Amino acid sequence: MTIQLRTIANARCGDKGNKVNIAVFAKDAKDYDILLDQVTPERVAAHFKDLVFGEVKRYEVPTIYGLNFVLSEALDGGGSASLRVDNLGKCFASNLMRMEIRGG
């Protein structure tokens, strides 16, 4: 069965310069294992393929069932340089929560 990431996790994000930081938190240990397996840097990069043009790094924080992603070249140059009309990095967490994963 396919579910959206939001079913098993929550997220927060922010931006600095031309980078976005997204922290994803599983609701429990079982869901954290699903995150480790399915929410990879490659999948996150593919999810944001039209917005992120640099490297996607993942950091694991198992003590709080968390993953932290840093997305480079993600903000069209950053706040003072971008012509985007969204809230820059603030919208990325909500966008990632729509990513489809295997669940059940």
- Indicate the SS3 state at residue 38: helix
- Both tokens of residue 16? 């600095």
Distances 37 to 22, 32, 54, 65, 104 between C-alpha atoms, Å:
17, 9, 22, 13, 14
Q: Is the pTM of this model over 0.75?
A: yes
Q: Where are the domains of the chain?
A: 2-99
List the structure tokens of 38. Answer: 């399915």
Q: What is the pLDDT of residues 52-89, one digit of tens each?
A: 999 999 999 999 999 999 999 988 665 555 545 555 56
Residue type, 38: Q
What CATH architecture applies to the domain 2-99?
2-Layer Sandwich (3.30)
